[in-house]
């Protein structure tokens, strides 16, 4: 799919991987809806950066846990730009809880994590699918994590939610073809503000250790993840239901 002139919704795109993806798509001519749940200022900054570079974008607030808000998000894209061709399900959250601390994993933790990561991915996919079918083509890319493959990461609920996204990618790819392709990326350690905030003073040490055990001697960045997402949208036109691990080989 040539993204030039296409319409894209990128959830959770006020920072990190979402922002890098929104900016990359816009630089290639896509019209982008920058979604945020809480960070309005950051989202507006992304839109301003895209417009300053000659691209087309607007921001839209929606909590992906809420089906009505997901539908409104998609309708904003269609009403503004006339169609929808691309959806990147990037919105995600976690609670940083050591895996052995079962006592800290409350019902609220499960509901928060699965609500955004799993239910949100499904809600947005369901809202987007009819419009992509009407357009005659569509590409959906979900953002999971190596946590969903290896059972590692910030918490057990987070790892379980990312495994669910990988599984959902297969299910939705099976039923949404041939018009819509659904794929997934599973990044490892990503150099982001989000992870830095979660790890705090442990961040630099964790980043160094992750890079050291990786064959490419580096960690992922929002930009390298955006490149992998773009490949699924623009280049891998006969691939669906697949997950690519973006971790520089650290999980080998």
Active site residues: 158
Angle between helices 16-27 and 40-52 (to 10 degrees): 20
Give dist(CA 99, CA 22) in Å, integer.
33
Angle between helices 222-230 and 16-27 (to 10 degrees): 50
Which long-range contacts does 163-172 make (Cβ < 8 Å, 24+ apart)?
164/114, 164/117, 164/118, 165/89, 165/117, 165/118, 165/121, 166/142, 166/243, 168/118, 168/121, 168/122, 168/142, 169/142, 169/144, 169/241, 169/242, 169/243, 170/241, 172/125, 172/140
End-to-end CA distance of the chain: 31
- Phi, psi of 227, rounded to the nearest 5 degrees: -60, -40
Give dist(CA 187, CA 93) in Å, integer.
15
CA angle centred on 84, ends 83 and 89, rounded to 5°: 160
């Amino acid at each position: 799919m040539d993204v030039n002139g296409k319409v894209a919704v990128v959830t959770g795109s006020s920072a990190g991987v979402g922002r890098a993806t929104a900016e990359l798509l816009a630089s290639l001519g896509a019209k982008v809806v920058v979604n945020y749940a809480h960070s309005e200022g950051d989202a507006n900054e992304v839109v301003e950066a895209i417009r300053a570079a000659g691209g087309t974008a607007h921001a839209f607030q929606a909590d992906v846990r809420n089906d009505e808000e997901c539908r409104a998000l998609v309708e904003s894209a269609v009403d503004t730009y006339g169609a929808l061709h691309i959806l990147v399900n990037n919105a995600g959250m976690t609670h940083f809880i050591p895996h052995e601390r079962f006592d800290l994993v409350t019902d609220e933790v499960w509901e928060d994590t699965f609500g955004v990561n799993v239910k949100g991915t499904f809600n947005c996919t369901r809202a987007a699918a009819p419009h992509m079918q009407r357009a005659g083509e569509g590409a959906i890319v979900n953002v999971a994590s190596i946590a969903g493959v290896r059972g590692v990461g910030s918490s057990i609920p987070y790892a379980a939610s990312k495994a669910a996204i990988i599984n959902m990618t297969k299910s939705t790819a099976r039923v949404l073809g041939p018009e819509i392709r659904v794929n997934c990326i599973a990044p490892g350690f990503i150099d982001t503000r989000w992870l830095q905030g979660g790890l705090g003073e442990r961040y630099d040490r964790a980043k160094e250790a992750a890079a050291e055990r990786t064959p490419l001697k580096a960690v992922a960045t929002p930009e390298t993840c955006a490149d992998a997402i773009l490949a699924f949208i623009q280049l891998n036109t006969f691939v669906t239901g697949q997950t690519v691990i973006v971790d520089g080989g650290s999980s080998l």
